[in-house]
Amino acid sequence: MKHVSASDIEGMEKIFRLNLVNSLSGYKSANLIATKSEEKGANVAVFSSVTHLGSDPALLGFVTRPETVPRNTYKNIKDTKYFTVNHIHQDMIAKAHQTAAKYEEEVSEFKKTGLEEEYLDEFYAPYVKQCAVKIGCEYVNEYQIKENGTALVIGAIKHVYFDESIQTPDGWLRLEDAGTVAINGLDAYALPALLDRFHYARPGQEIKSFFDNNEPKD
């Protein structure tokens, strides 16, 4: 097994280091965060750092990059307080990835990539029409990460949209049925496959699968 030390990482060529370290944490969520500025229209960008923070209240978070260059998504959220999180699915990965390009602030990634804006229930920020799972969020807080100049932005979940067919009776969403993809590193997209689902784990009790009755997973 190959061993890489901290000093080895520090001495790596930049792109090699980016590729290695960004893939170490495993598969990450693949989402498009969409916002709208007060003056220059809509913005959409791919993020792999969106994560669940709690269900009561319903919160999620994502990590911004350092503000060494303009960050349109972050600025729009700070100015307007609203953003949407949209799951990337298998039929749109090329368009989604293109949103990572460094367009000028006045240029909308929607227009450059072929992604479509969608406004639902009078929410200020646009959703991505092509996405099968869409979440409308309101900014509530942020925490500065002084070690690398990034910030953890916290959003309260205000609206959720998805096809009713992907929800099971206990509320869980079968994201495999929605075609939701994951990100490996910076630029690789993968389609997860459901292996199993387990009941709540308790000390001294045998772990039980939801599929113990031999029903198929798909």
Q: Is 38 exposed, middle or buried (0-12, 13-18, 19+ CB in 10 A)?
A: exposed
The model's pLDDT over 145-170, given as tens digits with 9 standing for 90+, comes to 999 999 999 999 999 999 999 999 99
Q: Please give the Cα distance from 70 to 75 (Å, whole number).
A: 8
- List the structure tokens of 209: 């699968």
CB 29 within 8 A of CB 89: no
Whole-prediction pTM value? 0.92
The model's pLDDT over 6-46, given as tens digits with 9 standing for 90+, comes to 999 999 999 999 999 999 999 999 999 999 998 878 999 99
Q: So where are the chain's domains? A: 26-190
Give me the mean pLDDT over the 55-65 stretch: 95
**pLDDT bracket for residue 65 (50, 70, 90):** confident
Q: pLDDT at position 216, please? A: 47
Q: pLDDT at position 62, please? A: 97
Decide yes or no: CATH 2.30.110.10 for domain 26-190: yes
Q: Please give the Cα distance from 90 to 197 (Å, whole number).
A: 22
The model's pLDDT over 164-197, given as tens digits with 9 standing for 90+, comes to 999 999 999 999 999 999 999 999 999 999 999 9
Residue % of the chain over a pLDDT of 90: 85
Query: Of how many residues is the chain composed?
Result: 218
User: Percent helix, strand, coil in the chain (nearest 5)?
Assistant: 20, 35, 45
**pLDDT bracket for residue 69 (50, 70, 90):** low
Number of helices (H) and strands (E) in the chain: give both, helices first. 6, 12
Q: pLDDT at position 198, please? A: 93
Would you call 119 helix, strand, or coil by DSSP? Answer: coil
The model's pLDDT over 75-84, given as tens digits with 9 standing for 90+, comes to 999 999 999 9
Higher-pLDDT residue of 101, 212: 101
- List the structure tokens of 65: 């990059």
Q: Beta-strand (E) ranges in 23-128?
A: 28-29, 31-36, 42-47, 51-55, 58-64, 82-87, 117-118, 127-128
pLDDT at 115 over 70: yes
Q: Please give the Cα distance from 48 to 59 (Å, whole number).
A: 17
Nearest 5°: phi and psi at 177?
-70, -25
CB 118 within 8 A of CB 71: no
